[in-house]
Amino acid sequence: MKIGKRLIGFLLAGAMVLTMNGCGNGGGTQTEELKEDSKVESQAEENKGSAGAVEIKKVGIAMPTKDLQRWSQDGANLKEKLEGNGIETELQFANNDIGTQVSQLENMITNGCDLLVVASIDGSALTNVLDTAKASGVTVIAYDRLIMNSDAVSYYATFDNTKVGKLQGQYIADTLDLENQDGPFNLEIVTGPTDDNNVVFFYGGAMEVLQPYIDAGKLVVPSGQVSRQECATPEWSNQKAQERMENILSSFYNDGKNLDAVLCSNDSTAHGSASALAENYTGTWPIITGQDCEITNVKSIIAGKQAMSVFKDTRALADAVVNMITALSEGKEVPVNDTNTYDNGAGIIPSFLVEPVAATKDNYKELLVDSGYYTEEDLK
C-alpha cells in the first residue's frame, strides 16, 4: 500500500514539475494547488507529530563530495551503521555539483528509498526535489547542513555549529590573552560560502567572542574585510581561500606588518590560508584555526603550523541519525535536543546537536587516536 502511495505521489510530483516547466516559471501557486489535489499525505508531516511507525527498508544517503575526507567518513559511517541494522542504503557523493545532487536525490526517490539523509551542497537548491520526496511519502533528514525553504524536512542532525565558532574564537582570544593584553593584534577572517547555512553559525559564534575585542581596538583587521560576505570562501575551496589570502598579504601586509591570527572556519580554508602564508609572508607565524580534524590538518597541528581544529566526531553524528531512524521505524519519539535554533524558512526543524571539541597539539592523541578515530600511522 505504501509503495502504491509513493508511486502515485511520484507520478503526481513528476506531473507538477512538467507542468511548471511547461509554464516556464516556478510560480508556487500552481504547485500548491496540485499538491492539494493530489491528496497525497506527507509522511514527513506525519512523522513530525511522531505518529505511528514508518516502514524504513531503504535509505538514500546524499553527501556533497568525496574531496573532503569528512564527507567520505560520514557516508561510510552511515552506510555501515544502517546496514548493520538491516536497512538497505544507497550512498552517493555529488562532486560538489548542485545539479548532480538533485538528480541523485531524484533517483533515490525513484529507486524506492523510504527516507533520505541529505548533506546539501546548496541548502536552498533542493526545494523542488524535496517537494517530490514529500509527495512520494519519503521522509527527509537534513544532515550536518540545514536544508532551507522546504517543508519536506522532518529532522536535522548536526553539530552545535555556534559552539564550533565559539571554540575557534575563544582559542584566539585565550592564546593572545586578549582579556589582559592591549594589542593591537592583527586578525584576518576566512570563512565558508554564503550558501552554507552552517557558516552563519560558525562565523556568528566566533564573532560573538571576537567582536568585543575588535570594538575595543585590541584586535584589528588590516584588510578591513570583516563581514561574513566579505570573508566568504566559495565552495569552501582551498584554492580560493589561498588566492584571497595572497591578495590580502600583498595588499595589506607588504610593509612588514605581523599577522597574529587567522580565523579559518574549517580545515580546507585553513590549508589554503597556510599555503598562501608559506609563500608570501615572512613575519611571525600566526595562530590558524580550523575545523574537522582532517588528517592533513592534524599533521599540520603536530608540525606547529595550524594551531587548532575542531573535532566533530562523525561517528556520533551517524549514531544520532541511526537513532532517529530507529525511533521513526518503531513509532517512538524521535530523539532531538534542540527545538529553537534552526529555522529553515518553512519553520523550526527539530534538531539533534552533537558537541564539538577543540583539538590541539596537547589533546589530539586522546581525542583522535585513543578514541580510535585515527591510528598513529594515519597521522605520520
Supply the DSSP symbol for 317: H
Nearest residue (CB) to ligand BGC, 115 versus 157? 157
Min separation Cβ 292 and ligand BGC, Å = 5
By CB under 6 A, name the one of 106, 114, 144, 188 that touches ligand BGC. 144
- Under the binding rule (CB under 6 A), the answer on residue 160 touching ligand BGC is no
Partners of residue 62 on adjacent β-strands: 92, 118
Which amino acid makes up residue 54?
V
Nearest residue (CB) to ligand BGC, 31 versus 269? 269
Single out the segment in contact with ligand BGC by CB under 6 A; choices: 3-11, 40-48, 121-129, 192-200: 192-200
By CB under 6 A, name the one of 6, 48, 134, 145 that touches ligand BGC. 145
Instruction: Locate 295 and state its grid cell.
Output: 588528517
- Residue 24-63 contact track with ligand BGC, rule CB under 6 A, x = bound: ----------------------------------------
Report strand pairing: 153-159 vs 351-354. parallel
Beta-sheet strands, E only, within the chain: 58-63, 88-93, 115-118, 139-143, 153-159, 185-190, 219-220, 261-264, 287-288, 309-311, 351-354, 357-359
Tell me if the bond preceding 350 is cis, omega within 30° of 0. no
Select the residue whose beta carbon is closest to ligand BGC and give its number.
266
- Under the binding rule (CB under 6 A), the answer on residue 196 touching ligand BGC is yes
Nearest residue (CB) to ligand BGC, 163 versus 218? 163
- Under the binding rule (CB under 6 A), the answer on residue 195 touching ligand BGC is no
Distance CA 290, CA 181 (A): 24
Nearest residue (CB) to ligand BGC, 168 versus 266? 266
Distance CA 369, CA 250 (A): 39
- Under the binding rule (CB under 6 A), the answer on residue 271 touching ligand BGC is no
Distance CA 314, CA 316 (A): 5
Q: Which residue has the cell 533515490?
A: 108
Distance CA 262, CA 278 (A): 13
Single out the segment in contact with ligand BGC by CB under 6 A; choices: 1-9, 84-92, 191-199, 326-334: 191-199
Nearest residue (CB) to ligand BGC, 114 versus 292? 292
**Core vs surface per residue 17-32: b (16+ CB within 10 A) or e:** beebeeeeeeeeeebe
Which residues are near ligand BGC by CB under 6 A? 68, 70, 144-145, 192, 196, 198, 236, 266, 291-292
